[in-house]
Amino acid sequence: MLRSIFTIVFAFYQLSSFSQTSSDSLKYAADEYNLGFEKLISNTKFASKWFSIDNSKGVMIITDTIEKHSGQHSLLIENLNSDGAAKYVQSGIFILSKYEGREVEIRLYAKLKDVAHHVDFSVRIDDQDYDMLQYKNSLKTRISGNRDWQQYSLILPLSHDARRICFWPALYGSGKLWIDDVQVLIDGVDISQAKIKLDYDPNAPQPINYGGNTAASGKVKVKDAELYYETYGKGEPLLLLHGNSQSINVFKKQIKTFAKTYKVIAVDTRGQGKSTDSSVGPLSYDLYAEDMKTLLDSLHISKTNILGWSDGGNTGLIMAAKYPTYVKKLAVTGACTNPNEAVSASTLEEVSKAIESLKTKQDVKSKYQVRLFTMLLTEPHITALDLKHIKAPVLVMAGEKDMILEKHTKFIAANIPKSQLFIFKGASHYVPVEMVSEFNTKVLSFLDK
């Protein structure tokens, strides 16, 4: 499964919340959260509570006592590489989203000197799992060159489910950027006076690291491989099968919900995630299906529900056809029976180009990726007769804009005797993460009948 997503990694940094206005009471909040950059890490010029990210030597992220909008300090982000060796330099802060409101606004003052490329101010709002709910930046307005102190503002919708607000200014290319007097407002009210959520829990547990949760994990040896899996919840078993080049973690929005009523077994397919693979031959979905049968036997599960996404859907269809006694109900999204019929020629060409590029690399990961992508071009080989042999009820799903052609999704549903078809309007191949609530509700409705 191929996807390019713009992401910024915020791991290993402390969550912070902050506020600032001109009144005495709000000044205390500004000092506490260091929005005016008046607090420094002891014996340094670094602003406390702010983290820094750069990708090159010759950059500085420190406080400045000469250029400032107010107070004694501002934050200075400087790239000394006139040849553009550093693509970007960033600093940022985390704001704990404990406030009730419809929108959040970040205001700041900035000054620029000799900025060759541009600066950017970005705000991202994350949910309880630190996944992105909202994102906005200032790139529509190209901010560069020399500019005196000026106020900028970014406004985003604020969901009740928000866990943190991330703000970071960035300098691209050479030059200097000063930041000062940052302010955070909820529905126009500074956060020091904003309403706190009634259900806010300052001691809320950290998100579960699905795919890396050793407390819920297990391993099973299969033919030439060892499968890593995690188990959550109680009830009827529900096996989750991810897509190509993915892992258990991609299902974290489903695991949280499904584990309330089902015993969820989420597994990394061989050679992916934390599962190993010592085989050298071509990969196939028949092999994956055999792996899953062995896994179920090892866990003493004689019959299970299955949810398969993309490659996982292909595996699920084969399991339902080859091992019918093991499958109670099957839900698939973005599955296919033959790549030459399921996707466009341009998609196949993109995969072929990716394979040729990977072949120029000699590392183990790239070599295995060639095998995974080659399987996308050559597998599976599920016939209409195979589909007709499926006895279990099957929910066949896809996004309206899925890379799997809609006519092919309808072909799958039409040839399975006990099937239901559902197309998610406006969604792509990634509907489980694009339309979490709608997707989970649809799957649970099918399984719970």
Binning the chain into helix, strand and coil, the percentages to the nearest 5 are 25, 35, 40
∠ CA(58), CA(63), CA(69), 5° rounding? 125
Two tokens at 87?
């693509």
Distance CA 20, CA 28 (A): 8
For 214-448, CATH gives 3.40.50.1820
Residues of the chain with CATH 3.40.50.1820: 214-448
Strand, helix or coil for residue 115: strand
Q: Is 351 left (phi over 0), alpha (psi -120 to 50) or beta?
A: alpha
pTM of the model: 0.80
Query: 268 phi and psi, to 5 degrees?
Result: -85, 120
pLDDT tens for each residue of 371-413: 999 999 999 999 999 999 999 999 999 999 999 999 999 999 9
Amino acid at 27: K
What is the chain's length? 449
Residues of the chain with CATH 2.60.120.260: 24-190
pLDDT tens for each residue of 235-287: 999 999 999 999 999 999 999 999 999 999 999 999 999 999 999 999 999 99
The angle that helices 311-322 and 285-298 make with each other, rounded to 10 degrees, is 70
Q: Enumerate the β-bridge partners of residue 229.
A: 218, 267
Distance CA 286, CA 209 (A): 30
Amino acid at 245: S
- Report residue 55's pLDDT band, with 50, 70 and 90 as the boundaries: low
User: Residue 268 gets which letter from DSSP?
Assistant: P
Please give the helix or strand (H or E) that residue 154 lies within, else none: strand 143-157
Two tokens at 18?
């902050």
Query: 344 phi and psi, to 5 degrees?
Result: -75, 160
Domain 24-190 has CATH 3.40.1390.10: no
Single out the residue of 80, 47, 48 nearest to residue 64, CA to CA: 47
pLDDT tens for each residue of 66-114: 999 999 999 999 998 876 566 789 999 999 999 999 999 999 999 999 9
Work out the end-to-end distance of the chain between its first and last CA atoms, rounded to an integer number of angstroms: 30
